[in-house]
Amino acid sequence: MHPSVWASSSAARALAAPVGALWVIRLWGEFDAESIHVVERVTYEVLRSSVAPVVFDLRQVTFANTALLNHLIALRLHRPVGLVGADRVMRLMVEVSGAALPVFPDLAAARSALSADEAP
C-alpha cells in the first residue's frame, strides 16, 4: 500500500492517494506559475511510486490557468489522466487546447473508464 503524498503553499494544496487501481490527486486553491510547484511535487512522487492512471479532482480549485493545463497535458504523455470536477473555464481550456484529457462527472466514472483502459 502506498502512503498519501501532499504538498502546499500559501495559495495551493495537493494531496495524492491511491484509490483502487489508480491515484487521485485532489487540488485546492489557485494554480498558476507561482503555485504550480505544489502539484508538480505531488505528481512527481506519484510517477516515482506507481504506474497507475491518475485522476485529478478539481472540485476545490478556485483558479487555474495554463500552468495547470500544461502540467496535465505533459503528464498525459506518461500516464492515462482524467479530470473530475473541472469547472466551465477548465473544460473550455481543455477543449480549445485539443488535449486528450477526459473529463468525468464523478470519481466513480473516472475509475471505471480508466480501469477499463488498463484491462488487457
The mean pLDDT of 9-34, rounded to a whole number, is 96
pLDDT tens track for 36-83: 999 999 999 999 999 999 999 999 999 999 999 999 999 999 999 999
What is residue 59's predicted lDDT score, i.e. its pLDDT? 97
Non-local CB neighbours of 52 within 8 Å, separated by 6+ positions:
18, 21, 22, 23, 79, 118
pLDDT digits 0-9 by tens, 78-117: 999 999 999 999 999 999 999 989 999 999 999 999 986 6
DSSP letter at 3 equals P
Q: Is the pLDDT of residue 8 over 50?
A: yes
Class of the CATH domain delimited by 5-118: alpha beta
Q: What is the pTM of this model?
A: 0.94
Do residues 55 and 82 make contact, with C-beta atoms less than 8 angstroms apart? yes
Residue among 7, 65, 61 nearest 32 (CA)? 65
Closest CA to 94 of 73, 115, 79, 111: 73
